Amino acid sequence: SERVSISALPQEVLLRVFRFLGPEDLCRCGQVCSVWSQVTRTGSLWRHLYPVRWARGVRQILSLCPNLTHLDLTQTDISDSAFDSWAEFGVCRTLEHLDLSGCDKITDRTLKILSLGLGDLTASSPDRRAKLLKAPPSPIKLQDEHSLPPIGRSCQDLIFKRRPGGRGSGCGPAHVWVLDPAKLADIEDAADWSRRGGLSAQESGRGSIFEQQGGSGSCCCRRSRRRSFRTGISSSHWQYSSMGDALCGHSTCCTSDVSLWTVREAHCDLEATGGSVDFRTKCSFEGESCPEHHNRTDQSGACRTLRFLSLSGCYQITDLGLRCLSQRGGLPLLEHLNLSGCLLITGAGLQELVSACPALNIEHFYYCDNINGPHADTASGCQNLQCGFRACCRSGE
Ligand code: FES
């Protein structure tokens, strides 16, 4: 019979084989060749290896990187507790890109903490809000960069202070990259986003973090909701698909040249409406469980600069979490929002959030096909169809 070399195996088969390997063997396989190296970087392979260290590592990263602009934690086992330091120090004031795809332990609490960390635009006048949105966020500087805490020490021992001359002085934020997206294999949304000339690269003059990639453009994730069909299947449960992980390669499937709204347009919109985003301030969490109870963030530097947010597969998210994001000034610069696989949210919750996101690009707005939400005819459908490792009410169809 014909013998087939292991190097001829398709990547989806390699991925299944690699699932049986431990971290040391995965590292060895990653050094065999470029293809194996790429496959071994797939997030789902590493997801369950060190669940405890994920939380501790993320807490340290968030504490030590106060000027973080890009955070990708795709397919990790992190839970809400990893983000507690955000509410403490407001370190996500400069955050532009947050990808929590596949982080299915995330709940509404993380969104509440995120909203707190981004700051409160409602504390500012409309003029000041518009001014804040034009200026780059002030970087935060570690008071003593040589006194960083050793591994394991509480992140709360850190003291931050604003850089002298901060806002308006022309200093851009120091760009701290926690994880190098170019070295991860499954950052689907981020790759698509960057390939279209990601805003952060255009507006800040930074280079794109991804190389241009070709693709078939035929993947399910790019279809319009108009073309999707609704099955009436209950969204109260979902199942893992047996169709394999590699059927939906989002990072290479999208090639249509969709122009994005620019930050300037978002600013103009905000100014034209007098900053009339639907500002809601009522807290939906109670007592000690409310992250705001511990919040010590200085609100004077609030910018809410988030432009990209993916919660794909975070099926525990509810309307309560969406409401947290729409509070405190909403997300005035947000253009990409992926809520695929968020089975518990409703059309009303989506509508409330969308009303607080005036810059949202409908082409980059994804949610469950079985939810009758805003822009149902034009928004993109769920990205998790036929995806074997993220929540979707229609997986396996
Ligand atoms: Fe409903 Fe994917 S979550 S279609």
Q: What is the mean pLDDT of residues 201-225?
A: 36
pLDDT score for 334? 96
Q: Which residues line ligand 1 (CB under 6 A)?
A: 235, 340-341, 343, 368-370, 382, 384-385, 392-394
Whole-number average pLDDT of the chain: 65
* Separation CA 184–CA 75 (nearest Å): 11
pLDDT score for 139? 47
Ligand 1 atom nearest to CA at 238: 3
What ipTM was assigned to the predicted interfaces of this complex?
0.98
The residue to which tokens 């591994």 are assigned: 151
Ligand 1 atom nearest to CA at 383: 2
* Residue nearest ligand 1's atom 2 by CA: 392
* Separation CA 51–CA 49 (nearest Å): 6
pTM of the model: 0.57
* Residue nearest ligand 1's atom 1 by CA: 368
Ligand 1 atom nearest to CA at 233: 1
From 104, 223, 340, give the residue whose CB has the most ligand 1 atoms within 8 Å, as the site to mutate.
Answer: 340
Q: How far, in Å, is the centroid of ligand 1 from the Cα of 393?
A: 5
The residue to which tokens 């969204």 are assigned: 235
User: What pLDDT band is residue 248 in, cutting at 50, 70 and 90?
Assistant: very low
pLDDT score for 87? 66
* Separation CA 41–CA 24 (nearest Å): 13
Q: Is 166 helix (H, G, I), strand (E, B) or coil?
A: coil
Which of 3-7, 26-30, 247-251 has the largest mean confidence?
26-30
* Separation CA 97–CA 306 (nearest Å): 6
pLDDT score for 396? 60
The answer to whether the beta carbons of residues 56 and 48 sit under 8 Å apart is: no
* DSSP annotation of 124: S
Q: Which residue has the higher pLDDT, 68 or 259?
A: 68
Please tell me the least confidently modeled range out of 83-87, 157-161, 345-349: 157-161
* Separation CA 314–CA 391 (nearest Å): 7
User: What pLDDT band is residue 111 in, cutting at 50, 70 and 90?
Assistant: very high
- Is pLDDT above 50 for 212? no
From 227, 241, 342, 382, give the residue whose CB has the most ligand 1 atoms within 8 Å, as the site to mutate.
Answer: 382
- Is pLDDT above 50 for 118? yes
pLDDT, tens digit, 9 for 90 and up, residues 166-176: 333 333 333 33
pLDDT score for 47? 65
User: What pLDDT band is residue 353 in, cutting at 50, 70 and 90?
Assistant: very high
pLDDT score for 344? 94
* DSSP annotation of 246: T
* Separation CA 146–CA 204 (nearest Å): 29
* DSSP annotation of 278: -
pLDDT score for 142? 40
User: What is the longest distance spanned by two Cα atoms in the chain?
Assistant: 76
Please tell me the least confidently modeled range out of 45-49, 175-179, 185-189, 210-214: 210-214
> What are the b/e assignments for 121-137, b being 16+ CB within 10 Å?
bbebeeeebbebbeebb
DSSP per residue, 185-244: S--HHHHHHHHTT-HHHHHH-PPPSS------S--GGGSBTTT-------TT-----SS-
pLDDT, tens digit, 9 for 90 and up, residues 292-345: 544 444 455 567 889 999 999 999 999 999 999 999 889 999 999 999 999 999
Backbone angles phi, psi at 84, to 5 degrees: -55, -35
Ligand 1 atom nearest to CA at 384: 2
Q: Where are the beta strands (DSSP E) in the chain?
A: 68-72, 97-99, 140-142, 160-162, 176-177, 308-310, 336-339, 365-367
